[in-house]
Amino acid sequence: MNLEPERVITSPARTARRLRRAAPVLALVVAATSAAATTAVAQTGGTASGRAGGTLGATVGRTVGGTAADPVPLAGCPSPGRVKPTVVLVHGAWADASSWNGEVRSLQRAGYAVRAVANPLRDLTSDAETVADFLKTVSGPIVLVGHSYGGSVITNAAAGVPNVKALVYVDAAAPDVGETNGQLSGSDSDLNGDPATLYDKVPYPGAPAGAADLYLKRKVFVRSFASDLPRRTAVRLWATQRAASTSAFTTPSKAAAWKTIPSWFFISTGDRIITPSSQRAMARRAGSKVTEFKGGSHLTLISHPEAVTSVIGSAVCSVR
């Protein structure tokens, strides 16, 4: 399988120019980032068993004064009259559905149905069942997207739901059967330290024996979890984080939907929580279409939603 980089995009403006030429492409709108910002995205290819064979999907908008205006229609995605997929977004630990606000805004402006659903963060089995129950209420094809621990959830939730046509992993875990989310952070993850220095541990009613809620400590959240966000933003997100049960990280996966459903992987090279080396290994075995974002953090979905939406666009364009 070829995982060599196909191209490097070094700035938001250059990203927009290149995405306009990409195919298949998608009429999405993305809020422009500052012209002073510099990012790099490496799109890497390779499929397994014919999965994830599409090329880069575009998320380009016409911008006026740094604000996204009317969407630029781009050819290559399903023509008018075709059923558009619904995009379902699943957040990870120490976050909530609002972490997808940038992606939701872009997708809605482009006319796509999108839902960012609540992830209970209790244990992998019941969390996946909760998301699967929601998926079964959605008519038509679904592009299912997971961030962080949400990747483990979508890996299980999509199993047995035939409407799920594509999986997108955003700085996420993609476990095989029997693996736990906690095993997949990577040997060089900042979460490998002494738990007493990483988490505030809090009991909760009805917890299984030995389980407790975990909150990331402020220093860990700001320096490791949200390291590319402005400090004030990172501190606000730390203060409003949702706790995750220890059971969420220790429950073995019962399914591996990426074995049968095409998948895409968005990997931030600056992720200190689920490290790039771990994500690359998971993407390789899944035969995923891989995009590497140069820099970022575990919260690139918040700091650079336009880059994440681009990869979601690739998955949307694959649905026929």
pLDDT for 83: 75
List helix spans (H) across the chain. 12-21, 101-109, 124-135, 149-157, 195-198, 218-220, 231-239, 246-250, 276-286, 300-303, 305-318
- For the chain, list the domains and their CATH numbers: 5-73+82-181+248-318 (3.40.50.1820)
Q: What is the pLDDT of residues 259-301, one digit of tens each?
A: 999 999 999 999 999 999 999 999 999 999 999 999 999 999 9
pLDDT for 218: 98
Q: What is the pLDDT of residues 74-97, one digit of tens each?
A: 334 655 456 799 999 999 999 999
**What are the φ/ψ torsions at residue 102 (nearest 5 degrees)?**
-65, -45
Percent of the chain with pLDDT over 90: 72
Query: pTM above 0.85?
Result: no
Please report, as a single letter, which amino acid is at residue 229.
L
Higher pLDDT residue, 36 or 164? 164
Q: What is the pLDDT of residues 118-129, one digit of tens each?
A: 999 999 999 999
